[in-house]
Amino acid sequence: MSEAETSVREVLAKYVERVWNDHDVEAFADFSDDSVHVDDMRYEDEGPSPEDLQDRLRRIFELSPDHEVRILDTISEGNYVVWTYEMSGSWVLANREPSFYRVRGIAFYGFRDGIVIKRAGVMERLKMSYQIGELENLIDICIPV
């Protein structure tokens, strides 16, 4: 593994630990800047700003005070890393009992000088919605790839 590949894996591990597991929203700024690009279908052009992402993190940690992300596998080349993860915690809403969730996802990150400049990924959103009580019924649909 090259030095760059080791470096992006180390930065990824620190990012996940500080931001996602320690719930340090302000640390997000240590791993991104205004050049960060997030692929998000909810935005037509540039995607959410770093401030938008920090607001999302605050809301997630408010609703899930024990939220945790565990890195499962990483594949890196140069300044890019693809990683799979498991995300879990308890979703706490005022009008119901806390709901436990455990879902998986895959993400693609591009780095420059130790910061994330490109983010994209997918996770089991439908499964999470079911687990936290947002969907009454979950229908499993298998589609060949």
Mapped onto helix, strand or coil, the DSSP state of residue 138 is: coil
pLDDT tens, position by position, 88-110? 999 998 778 889 999 999 999 88
Q: What is the pTM of this model?
A: 0.80
Cβ proximity of 12 and 109 under 8 Å: yes
For the chain, domains (ranges, CATH) are 3-131 (3.10.450.50)
Report in angstroms the alpha-carbon separations of 31 from 22, 75, 88.
14, 19, 22
**Among the ranges given (3-12, 29-38, 81-90, 126-135), the one the predictor scored with the smallest mean pLDDT:** 29-38
Q: How confident is the model at residue 76 (pLDDT cuts 50, 70, 90)?
A: very high
